[in-house]
Chain A
Amino acid sequence: MDDQILSQAKKRAERYWYEDGIWEIGFGLANILLSAFYTLSTSLQARGASMWLMLALQTGVIVGIFWLMGWLVKWLKAKITYPRTGYVAYRKLAPSKRARRVVQMMLVSGGVAALVGAVASMQTYANFTPIVIGMIFAAMLAYLGHRFDLLRLYALIPLVLALALVLAVLGGDETTALILFFGGFGILFSLSGGLALLLYLRRTSAAGTPGDYEPPAGNE
């Protein structure tokens, strides 16, 4: 049996997760909340709040925001997607593969953090940090767009890069630029997800009594 058929079946199942735009709305909202938190955190630090306290709070808030958004995405999918086009539970990675994935993610995150730190420490005429972050986000969008055949993610790339460029040219301090970038990206991503959801709702309908399995006569 052709491996291509199997990988296509896998790709279709994975793409299904992104089809309704709900994940984008959740991730976009998480970015908006992060931006709001950093605004608050900057203002608290300016008023003399301890840096260690803010660091501890930051870890808790980031984990909390992504946990909350994960819950929201699952809840929305259960309410909107599953009654319309069905439910899929994805296969979990084997423990060895999961460990490898965690190590890879840690290496990538460390590399990104080092890169951003190095760029931020450079004394230049423009603020390059939003450009670096923008390119990382653009690369992530290109990867997701390619992997799941999602054209709308490609359309977001020039917008994300334009946002990064504008913030770099505007200059200003590092933190404000990042707060604006995450906020802007969150709005763009949520809007894209909202549009995808609208189109999904238009082409699907909630099955009142979904076609359910009925054992053929004499088979029970």
Chain B
Amino acid sequence: MTGDLRKFTDLDRVIHEPARMMIVTILYQVEQVDFLYLLRETGLTKGNLSAHLAKLEAAQYVQIEKTYRGKIPQTLLALTPTGRAAFEQYREQLTLIANTLPEKRL
């Protein structure tokens, strides 16, 4: 069990934060979204979402592209191949850990 428990420390800490996990889960299923869509889907505040995106960008998990829609600024967001691979590995690790836990006692 101790060996299994140590797997917790191997979890990707960049993704293993509820808000960032939510962002990455949404981005994993699409090609690209804009900031407005992500803001609406996650329910986070503008500042909070920006901060999490900056962390994901620093880890090279998310690509942030500043552009314009007409005269209005638009930020396009997409998961990078590194981010996609990291998320897939994170999922595998999480499943592995969950499977080693004993059944819930009733």
Which residues from chain A sit less than 8 Å from chain B, CB to CB?
Answer: 1, 5-6, 9-10, 12-13, 16, 78, 82-83, 85-92, 207, 209-216, 219
Within the complex, the shortest CB–CB distance from B73 to chain A, in Å, comes to: 5
Q: A210-B35, A213-B50 are in contact. Are A83 and B94 (CB under 8 A)?
A: no
Q: A12-B41, A211-B46 are in contact. Are A82 and B30 (CB under 8 A)?
A: no
Asked if B5 CB lies within 8 Å of chain A CBs, one says: no
A89's contact among B30, B53, B66, by CB below 8 Å, is which? B30
Secondary structure dominating the interface of B: helix
Asked if B47 CB lies within 8 Å of chain A CBs, one says: yes
Within the complex, the shortest CB–CB distance from B45 to chain A, in Å, comes to: 9
Asked if B86 CB lies within 8 Å of chain A CBs, one says: no
| Tier of interface size on chain B | 35 or more
Q: Cβ of B31 and Cβ of A90 under 8 Å apart? A: yes
Q: Cβ of A213 and Cβ of B35 under 8 Å apart? A: yes
Q: A86-B36, A210-B35, A214-B47 are in contact. Are A13 and B94 (CB under 8 A)?
A: no
Within the complex, the shortest CB–CB distance from B66 to chain A, in Å, comes to: 8
CA distance A91 to B79 in the complex (A): 11
B26 cross-chain contacts in A, Cβ below 8 A = 9, 13
A91's contact among B31, B41, B64, B66, by CB below 8 Å, is which? B31
Which residues from chain B sit less than 8 Å from chain A, CB to CB?
Answer: 25-26, 28-41, 46-47, 49-51, 53-54, 58, 64, 66, 69, 72-77, 90-91, 94-95
CA distance A89 to B65 in the complex (A): 14
Q: Cβ of B95 and Cβ of A6 under 8 Å apart? A: no
A5 cross-chain contacts in B, Cβ below 8 A = 25
B75 cross-chain contacts in A, Cβ below 8 A = 212-213
Q: A90-B31, A92-B31 are in contact. Are A1 and B37 (CB under 8 A)?
A: no
Q: Cβ of B29 and Cβ of A91 under 8 Å apart? A: yes
Of all chain A residues, the one with the shortest Cβ separation from B26 is A9
Within the complex, the shortest CB–CB distance from A15 to chain B, in Å, comes to: 11
Q: Cβ of A86 and Cβ of B72 under 8 Å apart? A: no
Please name the 6 residue pairs, one residue from A and one from B, whose CB atoms are nearest each other, closest first.
A86-B37, A86-B36, A213-B75, A89-B32, A87-B34, A10-B29
Q: Cβ of A215 and Cβ of B31 under 8 Å apart? A: no
CA distance A200 to B33 in the complex (A): 20
A88's contact among B28, B37, B47, B50, by CB below 8 Å, is which? B37
Within the complex, the shortest CB–CB distance from B30 to chain A, in Å, comes to: 5
> What are 12 A-B contacts defined by CB distance under 8 Å?
A1-B94, A1-B95, A6-B28, A86-B34, A86-B37, A86-B39, A87-B76, A88-B34, A88-B37, A210-B35, A212-B74, A213-B35
Of all chain A residues, the one with the shortest Cβ separation from B21 is A1
CA distance A94 to B51 in the complex (A): 33
CA distance A87 to B46 in the complex (A): 16
Q: A86-B40, A216-B54 are in contact. Are A211 and B35 (CB under 8 A)?
A: yes
Q: Cβ of B36 and Cβ of A13 under 8 Å apart? A: no
Of all chain A residues, the one with the shortest Cβ separation from B94 is A1
